[in-house]
């Protein structure tokens, strides 16, 4: 969708319900926001040496630096990767890189992809290689994940989508090739999540995903603290994605081989891997 918080087995800690007009700030297992100010910076990006151009660009949006990566169905395929077959979760992008088979497709970029429990396993819907290992989680609860509507990023072949969990439950009958559930939704039909303010004081590293009308998946990660509202507006106003899903905060990490960027922050869980065709 990982810090000291993750060391506590299946402990969920949450701030109280926000009053009207207050920023969203809820913390649970699989969300790094409680210790965002203590998280290290991403690893530096040296001069690129790869022959394939990066799918990611650094941009400035309302005085905040973001890295914007675009997966194009004509050029890329998307898979989920939690860990080696039969093994424990990778818990980091460096372990993912080291564990990929020699004949695997080249990686365009990879990013943490959803919230997880103390072992790094997803707490919501999860499909990898067409195999579902976690059913859709429609439970109520505290924390960012349970702030309804939450949602699912999923796809098969070159068709990728972001839907709210209720929409997914009601309208998606076939199991996708990949899928990950997280929350909250940042955008629903072009509108900010009802509990997200325009630019509240809650700031940390954050990342999310949305799919535009051309079918391209936009992955955005902040290179510093950003509010929920500002990240959501980037998806709406720049990426042009009607629906966008929050993946996580505080531990948000990116691997961009073309720019030799490998973020090594706190442990993560599910990983979205965008491969070159």
- pLDDT tens track for 166-193: 999 999 999 999 999 999 999 999 999 9
User: What DSSP line would sit under 24-47, residue for residue?
Assistant: P----TT--GGGGGGSPPPPP---
For position 161, what pLDDT does the model report? 98
pTM of the model: 0.84
Number of domains the chain contains: 1
Among 261, 268, 243, 237, CA closest to 114 = 268
Encoded tokens for 64 = 């905040």
Residues 131, 137, 142: CA angle, nearest 5 degrees: 145
- Domain residues for the domain of 241 are 4-44+52-276
Instruction: Please report the DSSP string for 136-169 in residue order.
Output: ------SSGGGSSS-EEEEEETTEEEEEEHHHHH
CA terminus-to-terminus distance, the chain: 24
Distance CA 78, CA 242 (A): 20
pLDDT digits (tens, 9 = 90+) for 231-252: 999 999 999 999 999 999 999 9
Alpha-helical runs (H) found in 88-221: 93-99, 165-171
Tell me the per-residue pLDDT of 250-270, one tens digit each, with 9 for 90 and over: 999 999 999 999 999 899 999
């Amino acid at each position: 969708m990982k810090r000291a918080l993750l060391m506590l087995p299946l402990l969920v800690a949450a701030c109280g319900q926000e009053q009207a007009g207050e920023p969203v700030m809820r913390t649970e297992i699989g969300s790094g926001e409680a210790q965002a100010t203590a998280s290290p910076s991403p690893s530096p990006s040296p001069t690129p040496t790869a022959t394939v151009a990066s799918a990611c660009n650094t941009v400035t949006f309302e005085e905040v630096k973001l890295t914007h990566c675009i997966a194009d169905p004509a050029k890329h395929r998307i898979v989920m990767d939690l860990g080696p077959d039969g093994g424990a979760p990778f818990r980091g992008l460096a372990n993912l890189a080291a564990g990929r088979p020699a004949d695997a497709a080249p990686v365009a970029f990879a990013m943490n992809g959803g919230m997880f429990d103390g072992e790094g396993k997803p707490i919501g819907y999860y499909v990898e290689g067409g195999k579902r290992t976690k059913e859709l989680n429609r439970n109520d609860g505290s924390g960012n994940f349970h702030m309804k509507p939450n949602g699912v990023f999923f796809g098969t072949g070159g068709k990728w989508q972001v839907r709210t969990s209720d929409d997914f439950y009601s309208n998606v009958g076939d199991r996708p090739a990949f899928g990950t559930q997280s929350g909250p939704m940042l955008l629903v039909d072009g509108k900010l999540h009802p509990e997200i303010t325009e630019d509240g004081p809650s700031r940390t590293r954050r990342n999310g995903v949305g799919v535009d009308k051309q079918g391209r998946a936009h992955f955005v990660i902040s290179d510093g603290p950003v509010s929920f509202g500002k990240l959501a507006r980037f998806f709406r106003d720049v990426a042009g994605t009607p629906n966008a899903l929050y993946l996580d905060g505080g531990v948000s990490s990116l691997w961009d081989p073309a720019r030799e960027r490998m973020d090594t922050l706190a442990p993560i869980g599910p990983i979205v891997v965008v491969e070159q065709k």
